[in-house]
Chain A
Amino acid sequence: MAKRKSKLIIKKHILIPKHIKLSAKERDELFKKYNISLKELPKIKKDDSAITSLNVKEGDVIKIIRMSQTAGEVEFYRGVISE
């Protein structure tokens, strides 16, 4: 298939929650708060469509703000992995 630029911007879709890249400082604070390393975080692939425009690399942490049935708005974190 030829390269065709899709008109659909996945990031803006109503069902895609907000993905934010954490700064190194924020990331370290998160690790300290939960006493964890990247290994213990849930994962997200580097080429996940929701974070392609965030310019992430392996080891970054993504903060996801989701709508929750039980708690309204919820923060969730994922560590970026390759493949």
Chain B
Amino acid sequence: MAEEIDTQQEYVHKKVENIVFGVASPQLIKKMASAKIVTPELYDKEGYPVDGGLMDIRLGVIDPGLRCKTCGSKLKECIGHFGYIELARPVTHIIFVNIILSLLRSTCKECGKILIPKDKIGRCHAKLDKAEAEGELEGRRAAIKNIISGLKTVNKCPYCKARQQKIALEKPTTFVENDKKMSPIEVRTRLEKISDEDIEIFGLKPGYVRPEWMILTVLSIPPVTMRPSITLETGERSEDDLTHKLGDIVRINQRLFENINAGAPEIIIEDLWDLLQYHITTFFDNNVAQLPPARHRSGQPLKTITARIKSKEGRIRHNLAGKRTNFSSRTVISPDPMIELNEVGVPKVVAMKLTMPIRVTEWNLEYLKKFMERGSSKYPGANYLIRPDGKKKKMTDETQEALIEEVAPGYIVERHLMDGDIALFNRQPSLHRMSMMSHKIRVLAGRTFRLNPAVCNPYNADFDGDEMNLHIPQTEEAITEAEVLMQVQTQLISPRYGLSVIGCVQDAISGNYLLTRGAELRRDEAVDLLCRVGVKDFSKLPSKEMINGREIFSCILPDDFNFKGKSRSVDEKGGNEVIIKSGKLVKGVMDRDNLGEGSGLLLRTIHKNYGENKAIKILGKIFKLGIVYLARNGFTAALSDSDLPEPARMKIKDILNKAEDDVNNLINIYHQGKLEIFPGRTAEETLELKILELLNKSRNETGIVVAEHLNKNTGSSVMSDSGSRGGPLNLAQMAACVGQQAMRGKRIEKGYIGRTLSFFKKGDLSSNARGFIRDGYKGGLTPYEFFFGAITGRDSLMDTALRTPKSGYLYRRLANAMQDLKVEYDLTVRDASGRIVQFRYGEDGIDVSKSENGIINIDRIISNVK
């Protein structure tokens, strides 16, 4: 252990012990400056930087060929040097206004002492130290704030007994004492009076900060390397935003100087002074609430110092915390149900650009030479050769032969991607760990990434133009880690609810439902079907001419698999039980409750019994079986799917007529004032609630009628019953009645005064005047019904568009707050500093990803032990 530290110390050249932040004094600013800036001009007639201008070559070089006058080095060697300007009048620094305000408020205006009696100062220090011991720096800051706010009301200096005036901040930078403006000069003289000892209470360190330095008398000019100008194609020069701003400052400063020297009237000087204050303020921060932002001639706001550092596009989050990666690729995604779940289809063009580094050994030398012979333009070839000393050589027609000659063990060949290579696949926003999984590469024709539709769920991807990213890990460690920890099968069980995040979707569910609901196939058809799915062992098929769907499905299941569950739909005998005995589906149908993602325990049980690798293979086969069967069987949703027989239509009409009558009845009772009012509600609210309830009930009744009378064998019904898409509600909306359109839980009441549309009478509360759509989509909507549908449609569209960024930001805050919480070995959940957050994770200590839907099934464990 001791040795380890020693070896480390060899490499530690210099060590940062602590960092002190202070405020630059005028002397320091002058000392670190290598030029005094006096003129706003940038270049002379020849285009050469003016001496004493903002582009002075003593401030660094940004043009090739020139040498820095300060350090003598060329472009890119010289890091730039600061300059300064002498301000004609002092100016408040915008960043420090709040500190200045609290300093002014809590010190005496006459003697400059802090407004705390001598005997209490010691106690003050003790309080602050204690706060720091408890809550670290944040605690100290809070305590300082506390003390300062207490001093606001002191109106008599405990030392010189001088009366104190109320000081206010007139935003952004003006201080007002008793309705009288204080000039920065006055403020500065006040601040000068404050002693070094008193400063400490405010959290300022004597020797590093003096309060008066917060009022600027000289301004530091940043080096030109920090604000390089761009030469356009036309030869014109375009200056950086900061240079523009500094030009304004220098110009106004010069004018102020001239006016003062010429003895100009006070008003003119005041105006210029304010203007200088404005320019310097916006130089530091162009987003001050009370100031109009300084703009380009084109009208777009200047990007000054604060904007460079702050927020998402600023230096910290964009340039320092934001990383960019090589060996990655991005393109549109499209589905391919025939590739495996843990595969990703990569276009050939991508496979020929991205590479895999393969170390040359004695044994693979000849094999890799073949790749090199094919070069970079023939698949599968090689793009680069890396020498043992780390030099990278590109494979081109010229270099190819020499490089093939050169390769020897120890070299690294960067060959094209091939089937079976490991890649990380990711879709933003990466909200959970399943948003980035590792897949095996499958090189395919075309220009899109292909993924199995079953893994859309964890990525939350669809194919309406979504793009995804692909990364190729380059080191052995990274590849292994991706393979062992991140492959799709390792992510099968969600850590959120302990069920499979990947399951059958859409057609795969419909197909398996139809197959297991009582399909019968000829033996050759069955074998063909299974073959297509990838089953090669047909010994489980019973030896008879006609084979039913359940027997085909059973071929995929392991022989020793036992399962009991429930399905959402009923089988031909009317039961919803699913029984699998010794790998045979004896009873029940397969639908969303057993095959779908995040529901049902069939997939979870397979995973538990046979492990992730087998589980994903079985799932892949089930998925393909459904799709292939459906494709062979044919599947369509037709307009006639929602046809209802005449008696059913009459029934629905009766239900809706009755509902309408009932509503009118209620309205009459309400108008007579005889309505029975709910406690805590007004009469109007009660009426609305009653009407809503009534209409909803009648819509549901129509739904029941529809469910009873629709043909069970149409595509639409199959989708609804199997749960692959749509539900009974959608069927009812098509066949019978769309129902009440609601906005914010109420019937539609917007529009004109007292009515929704001019088509209705004022005060009409009847069902159809307030957004009840009694027709079905197939039968067709009346114009006003269509309009009500459009209202709610637009409303929900707006709602989602507004909600998405809000919830994204909420998530970001939550993730940042919880990112380093961790379950320790003693089962407590602790934060980074070891503070306990929970004594047991989730209070029950259950690892959800090892549970079934958050529950540990003790009954099964017991029965397994038996």
Which of A's residues lie within 8 Å of B, judged by CB? Answer: 33-36, 39-42, 68, 70-71, 74-77
Assembly CA distance A13 to B844 (angstroms): 25
Cβ A34 vs Cβ B826 within 8 A: yes
Q: Which of B834, B837, B843, B845 contacts A36 (CB 8 A)?
A: B834
B744 within 8 A of A: no
Assembly CA distance A17 to B837 (angstroms): 18
Q: Which of A40, A68, A70, A74 contacts B830 (CB 8 A)?
A: A40
Q: Residue of B at shortest CB range from A71?
A: B844
Which of B's residues lie within 8 Å of A, judged by CB? Answer: 826, 828, 830, 834-837, 839-840, 842-846, 854
- B130, chain A: closest CB distance, angstroms: 11
The contact sample of 14 A-B pairs, CB cut-off 8 A, is A34-B828, A34-B839, A35-B826, A36-B836, A39-B835, A40-B835, A41-B835, A70-B842, A70-B844, A71-B842, A71-B844, A74-B844, A76-B839, A77-B839
Chain A residues, CB < 8 A from B826: 33-35
Contacts A34-B826, A35-B826 hold; do A42 and B844 have CB atoms under 8 A apart?
no
Assembly CA distance A3 to B840 (angstroms): 42
Q: Which of B828, B835, B846 contacts A70 (CB 8 A)?
A: B846
Chain A residues, CB < 8 A from B828: 34
| Contacts A68-B843, A75-B839 supplied; 16 other A-B pairs, CB < 8 Å | A34-B826, A34-B836, A36-B836, A40-B835, A40-B836, A41-B835, A42-B835, A42-B836, A42-B837, A70-B846, A71-B840, A71-B845, A74-B840, A74-B843, A74-B844, A76-B839
Chain B residues, CB < 8 A from A68: 843-844
Q: Chain A at the B interface: mostly helix, strand, loop or mixed?
A: mixed
Chain B residues, CB < 8 A from A40: 830, 834-836
Chain A residues, CB < 8 A from B836: 34, 36, 40-42
Chain A residues, CB < 8 A from B835: 39-42
- B329, chain A: closest CB distance, angstroms: 43
Chain B residues, CB < 8 A from A35: 826
Task: Name, among A41, A74, A77, the residue most crowded by chain B CB atoms within 10 Å (CB to CB).
Answer: A74
Assembly CA distance A33 to B846 (angstroms): 20
Q: Residue of A at shortest CB range from B835?
A: A40
Chain B residues, CB < 8 A from A71: 840, 842-845
Assembly CA distance A1 to B182 (angstroms): 42
Cβ A70 vs Cβ B843 within 8 A: yes
- A11, chain B: closest CB distance, angstroms: 22
Chain A residues, CB < 8 A from B846: 70
Chain B residues, CB < 8 A from A39: 835
Assembly CA distance A68 to B854 (angstroms): 14
Chain A residues, CB < 8 A from B837: 42
Chain B residues, CB < 8 A from A36: 834, 836
- B842, chain A: closest CB distance, angstroms: 6
Chain B residues, CB < 8 A from A41: 835-836
Assembly CA distance A74 to B320 (angstroms): 44
Chain B residues, CB < 8 A from A75: 839
Q: Residue of A at shortest CB range from B842?
A: A70
Q: Residue of B at shortest CB range from A75?
A: B839
Assembly CA distance A41 to B836 (angstroms): 6
Assembly CA distance A39 to B828 (angstroms): 15
Q: Residue of A at shortest CB range from B848?
A: A70
Assembly CA distance A41 to B830 (angstroms): 10
Task: Name, among B828, B830, B834, B839, the residue most crowded by chain A CB atoms within 10 Å (CB to CB).
Answer: B839
- B850, chain A: closest CB distance, angstroms: 15
Assembly CA distance A5 to B256 (angstroms): 69
Assembly CA distance A34 to B840 (angstroms): 11
Assembly CA distance A39 to B133 (angstroms): 11
- B841, chain A: closest CB distance, angstroms: 10
- B424, chain A: closest CB distance, angstroms: 34
Assembly CA distance A71 to B839 (angstroms): 12
Chain A residues, CB < 8 A from B839: 34, 74-77
Assembly CA distance A75 to B838 (angstroms): 10
Assembly CA distance A76 to B835 (angstroms): 14
Q: Residue of B at shortest CB range from A40?
A: B835
Q: Residue of B at shortest CB range from A69?
A: B843
Assembly CA distance A30 to B80 (angstroms): 59
Q: Residue of A at shortest CB range from B838?
A: A76
Q: Residue of A at shortest CB range from B830?
A: A40
